[in-house]
Structure 1
C-alpha cells in the first residue's frame, strides 16, 4: 500500500522542522517522518536514574522530534563564521540574511532576547587569546538553556501538528528513485510513501544511513572531517571571564607537534557532562555536555576536538570515530574519566584520586581510567597542548585536577554534491542539516531546511 504526498521530509531535527515551518502555509500535503518519539516521550533511562547507557534503539537523546539538539543547551550561534558550510553553497549574503530570519522564528516561538558576544569587552579577550597562541572567534550567541530549548521545540511541534502530518516512530529504509527522479520513501516496515519532492534531513544519527543510501544510488560523495576529543570539566570560576561575556568561548589552536586544528566546542557554564548513544546500526556511547538557563553545578564543561580529514585510500571516518569510542566503552563499560594530572603522570585515575580532586564530577557514572588506551597519541598530544595554551588565557584550565571525559566524537556525513538550493543529482531530492554534511549546529541546520523548502 502506498500513500501520496507533495513533500516528504525525513528527519525531525532543526533542518526538518524549519523546512516544515516554511512549507506549512503553502497548502501542500506535507509529511514529516522520524524514527524517534515525540519530544515529551524522549526519556533516557539515565535521566530516570539508570547507571549506564543501555543503547536504546533509537537513542532518545538524539532521535525524535527536535533531533540531537533537543537536549542540548540550545546555543543559537548567530554568525556565518562557524556552524557549517552554507556560505560556500548559497553565498555569504544570503546565509547572513537567513540566519537573521531563522533567529526571528526562534524568537517567535519563545527564545530569550538576550544576546552574548556583542560588547566592547570582547576586544581585550581577543588580544589575550592571541598572546596565548589561540584564536578567539567572537560570535553573537543566543542561549536558550536545555529547559527553554525543550519549550521552544514543543511550541513548534504544537504549531506544526495541525498543519502537516507528523509521523514519529517510523524509520526511512530506502529512497525510491526512477530514472534519476525521486519517487518517495520506503519505510522500515515496508510501506511505500510516494512524493513529488523529498527533503532529507536525517541528522547526525542518520548520517550513516544517508551515506549508505547515497552509495546505493551511485551519487558522488566527498569526505568530511571527523572531530575526535574529550569533554573537559573545570570549576566554573576559571572560565568566568570568558563565559560572562561570550557565554561560549570559541577558541581555535594549531598544535605545535602535528599542526592539527584543535578547537573548543559546546561550552556549558554551570552545566553537566552527559553520555549519549550515537544510534544507528552500530551504536557506541560517547560524551556530551548540557547547560541550563540557571546553573545546576559549580563547573563549566566544554569539548576539545581535534579535526582530521583523511586522504586516499581511506573513506570511512565515521567507522574510525566509532572504533575509538568503542575502545573507551570496552575499557570502562561506558565512558572514561581521567584527571589531567594523572594523564600527564602516565597513570590511570582511580576512584580515590577522583574523590580527592578539587572538582566534583557532574557525570557520576563515568569510570575512572586511562584515556591513553583509547585515544591515539596524536590526539592526546594536541589536546594537552591546547589546554596548556588555554591556561595562559584562563589560569587553572590545565590544573592537575581538571577532568577529562572520553571520548567525544562529532560525526559529520560525507558531503553529497548539491546545488546552491541543496538539490542533489536526483531530481527533486534535497539534503540539508548536519546529517547531510551541510551544517554543524542548530542555526545553520535550521537555515539549510529553509533553503531546501523554498526551492
Structure 2
C-alpha cells in the first residue's frame, strides 16, 4: 500500500467514483485495483479553490478495515467494580466506554434528561423564553456538544488517540467521512442518535445511566471520596469517581468549594457572537460570488493581539459555525447566553462565530474576595446585565457590526437565525470596557484581514460567555487524581482540561485508564 496525493476541482472531488477512477487511470492500475480516499481538505489560498486528496492505493492487496473498534467485543461488566461518573457529556460517556473495555462498571449520573426529552426544553427556551435549569443546551445527555456543530477537530494530539475517538463515533453511527475530512464535524441533527447509541452500548454491556439525577453532596473519609449523594437522597458508593460536569455546572464548583475540595480560578474567554450572511463569508474566502453546489459553506479563523490600558490580550474567533444558527444557552433564568450550532449540511443562510477576549486572572480582581469563584461571578454579572438590557427574557442584546465599532446604537437590526429574537442595545453597556474596547479594535483588524468582513450587514449578539470553565479543579499531572482528595478524578471541560468534543472524550478515556492504574488489581 502507498499513498498518492492528488489535486482536483471541487466538482471532480465531489464524485468519489470519479476520484478513484482518476487515480487508477493516472497510475496505470487495473480497473479492479483497490483505492480508498485517506484524507480530504479544501484549499482556498490561490485564485481558484481546489480539493487536496490523499488516496490509499492497495492494488491487489486486501483492503484493511478503516474501523477496528468493535462494540461486540466489549465485555459485560454488570458484576464488576464500580466507578461513578458525574456528567454524561463526551468526557463522561467516553470514560464509561473505556471503563467497560477495561472490565469495570460505569455508573453515569446525569442531572439533565435523555437526548430526546431535551428537545422539548430547547423548544421552550426558543419559543417561550423558559429556561429549565436542569435541561437546556448545556445540561442533559451528551452535554453542551450534543446540540452544537459537532466539531471534531482538535489540536490536543498529545492527549490521546484522536483516530480512536473517531472510530468509536463511526461504530455508533457517524459517517466515515469524519475520518477523512481535515476539519470533521457531525452536525446537530445527527449527533443525538449517535449519543443515544453510545448510551445503549453502555447499558447493554452492564453499565448504568441515570437521568434527572443531580449530585448535591460529596461524602469524604480521610480525604478520600467514598460516595456521592443526589438531590433525592440516594447514595452512590464506588471505587472511584470521575467528575465530568462541563463548564456550566456552577453549583458543582460551589459545592466543591464549600466541601473543602480544592479548586482554583483560571483564565477563560468572553465576548460576543457575530453573525454574517453566509454568502459574504463565502465570497471573501472563495473569492467568487457563488460557491455553487460542490463547495461547503466556508468558515474562518481569526486572531488579533490587542493593547488596552497597558495590557495585551488576544481576541480570537471561537466555535465558528458556517451555515449555522445562534442558540440560547442560558442555564438559569435571569441570564442571556448565546452559542452556535450547525446541522450536518451546514445549509443555513447565516454564518456565526464567537469572537472572544482572553480574560486573565488580573482582570477579575473586582471579585477577588470570592477567591476561586471570582471568574464565575464575572460571567454571572455580564450574563445578567445582557438579560436586563434586552428586556428580561431570552431576547438577546445586539448591535450592527460597524455601529458597534463606532459607538452607535443601531436604528434597526438585520434578520437573524436567533429564534428568541434580538433587541438593539449599546453593547458597551453590557460588556466591561476591557472586553468591549478590545472587541472594537479586533473587528477593525479583522475587516482588514478579510475584506468585506467589517460590514453593517453583520451584527454582534451577546453574550458568548461559556467558552470554557472559569474554574480549574487541580489534579496530578500523571495520575489525573485530584491533588488532595483521593479517588476523585476531575475530567473534561468543566475541570479545565479539555476544549471540545474530542479533547473531552480523550480526557475521559485517560481518567478511566488512570483509575485502573491506581486502584485496579494488585494496587
Tell me the TM-score normalized by structure 2.
0.73
* Higher RCO (CA < 8 A, seq sep 6+): 1
Q: How many equivalent residue pairs?
A: 409
- 2: CA distance, partners of 1:149 / 1:246: 19
- 2: CA distance, partners of 1:254 / 1:448: 30
Would you say the 8 A contact 1:336–1:405 is kept in 2? Answer: yes
User: 1:417 maps to what in 2?
Assistant: 474
Deviations 1:165-201 (A, max 9, x none): 1110010011111001221101111111111111111
User: 1:386 maps to what in 2?
Assistant: 442
Deviations 1:313-360 (A, max 9, x none): 46310111110111010011231121123324433234xx22xx4xx2
User: 1:132 maps to what in 2?
Assistant: none
Displacement of 1:21 = 0.7
Q: Which moved more, 1:213-222 or 1:381-390?
A: 213-222
Would you say the 8 A contact 2:313–2:357 is kept in 1? Answer: yes
- 2: CA distance, partners of 1:109 / 1:307: 36
Would the alpha carbon gap of residues 247 and 16 (structure 1) be closer, same or farther in structure 2, given more than 3 Å must change?
A: farther
Matches within 5 A, 1:2-401: 6-45=82-121, 47=123, 50-80=126-156, 92=158, 95=159, 97-114=160-177, 140-163=182-205, 164-206=207-249, 208-240=250-282, 242=285, 248-257=299-308, 258-279=311-332, 284-311=335-362, 313=368, 315=371, 316-332=374-390, 333=392, 334=394, 335-350=396-411, 353-354=412-413, 357=414, 360-364=415-419, 365-401=421-457
- 1: CA distance, partners of 2:397 / 2:122: 16
Deviations 1:352-390 (A, max 9, x none): x22xx4xx2111412222211101222122112222222
Displacement of 1:18 = 0.3
Structure 2 gaps of 5+ residues are 1-79, 287-294, 515-523
> In structure 2, the residue corresponding to 1:32 is in which secondary structure?
strand
Q: Which moved more, 1:311-320 or 1:396-405?
A: 311-320
> In structure 1, the residue corresponding to 2:337 is in which secondary structure?
strand
- 2: CA distance, partners of 1:246 / 1:80: 25
Would you say the 8 A contact 1:8–1:32 is kept in 2? Answer: yes
Would the alpha carbon gap of residues 439 and 189 (structure 1) be closer, same or farther in structure 2, given more than 3 Å must change?
A: same
Displacement of 1:299 = 1.5
Would you say the 8 A contact 2:136–2:331 is kept in 1? Answer: no
Tell me the TM-score normalized by structure 1.
0.83
- 2: CA distance, partners of 1:142 / 1:264: 18
- 1: CA distance, partners of 2:271 / 2:118: 27
2:485 is the alignment partner of 1:446: no
Would the alpha carbon gap of residues 70 and 50 (structure 1) be closer, same or farther in structure 2, given more than 3 Å must change?
A: closer
- 2: CA distance, partners of 1:446 / 1:389: 35
Structure 1 gaps of 5+ residues are 82-91, 119-139
